[in-house]
């Protein structure tokens, strides 16, 4: 039986790698993206099992409307991967309430709304997998410009602890704490010294998006039959 995977942030470097990993293992993928990338379009041309939908994650109302409009398609999803994320470097003393709200709106609320919508059907089917992507920045408190990002990612680490009861219905939920990865995200702040940051990683390099995708796939597939309620770090030893 082909299972459908819902992947948010499908056009990000990690999201794209996750899409490819599932598709290459013969899953159907419903990929949600805020803005398309040529690589995502090419992936859709390569795999007929990739269904793309554009969604502006910056408004909870947009997400609610999308859920109502696409509910039948969404309810076919047996796996949720929340990879959508916003990193907007702002020095701590320049932060506004709007900065904090925007980070939570994109980084947390979509996961909450999709889980709320899809988990009852997963429980009825007695099978489901959920993986939220957090960040190693939670462990270190984030940098001086990524406070909102790290705080919102910390919220995603609370989800598994609060929903272990779903395990009785074989609905497993985990959060993957992602280490520094070679993606476009780390190029948004030109002042950031990535060589210095990488020197702090025991393995001496960044992860590749494919390495993160492999971990996501293991947690969010039949390969994972007994792991739930956990925050698992993939960060080269950090």
Give, for all 238 residues of the chain, the pLDDT tens digit. 699 999 999 999 999 999 999 999 999 999 999 887 889 999 999 999 999 999 999 999 999 999 999 999 999 999 999 999 988 888 889 999 999 999 999 999 999 999 999 999 999 999 999 999 999 989 887 667 888 999 999 999 998 877 888 999 999 999 999 999 998 776 666 667 888 889 999 999 999 999 999 999 999 999 999 999 999 999 999 9
Nearest to 110 by CA among 61, 50, 60, 45: 60
Residue recorded with tokens 């956990």: 230
User: pTM here?
Assistant: 0.94
> What are the residue ranges spanned by the domains of the chain?
4-234
Extract the tokens encoding 40: 């995502």
Give the architecture-level CATH label for domain 4-234: 3-Layer(aba) Sandwich (3.40)
**Rounded to whole angstroms, how far apart are CA atoms 8 and 10?**
5
């Amino acid at each position: 039986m082909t299972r459908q995977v819902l992947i948010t942030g499908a056009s990000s470097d990690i999201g794209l790698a996750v899409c490819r990993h599932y598709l290459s293992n013969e899953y159907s993928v419903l990929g949600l993206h805020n803005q398309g990338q040529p690589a995502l379009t090419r992936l859709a041309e390569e795999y007929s099992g990739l269904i793309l939908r554009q969604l502006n994650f910056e408004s909870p109302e947009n997400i609610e409307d999308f859920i109502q409009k696409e509910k039948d398609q969404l309810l076919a999803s047996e796996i949720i991967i929340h990879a959508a994320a916003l990193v907007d470097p702002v020095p701590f003393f320049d932060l506004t309430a709007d900065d904090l709200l925007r980070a939570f709106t994109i980084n947390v609320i979509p996961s909450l709304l999709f889980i709320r919508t899809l988990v009852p059907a997963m429980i009825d089917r007695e099978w489901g997998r959920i993986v939220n992507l957090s960040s190693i920045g939670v462990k270190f408190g984030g940098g001086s410009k990524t406070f909102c990002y790290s705080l919102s990612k910390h919220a995603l680490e609370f989800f598994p602890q609060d929903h272990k009861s779903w395990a009785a219905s074989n609905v497993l939920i985990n959060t993957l704490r992602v280490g520094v990865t070679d993606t476009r995200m780390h190029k948004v702040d030109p002042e950031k010294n990535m060589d210095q940051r990488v020197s702090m990683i025991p393995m001496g390099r960044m992860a590749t998006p494919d390495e993160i995708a492999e971990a996501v796939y293991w947690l969010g597939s039949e390969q994972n039959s007994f792991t739930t309620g956990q925050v698992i770090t993939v960060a080269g030893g950090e």
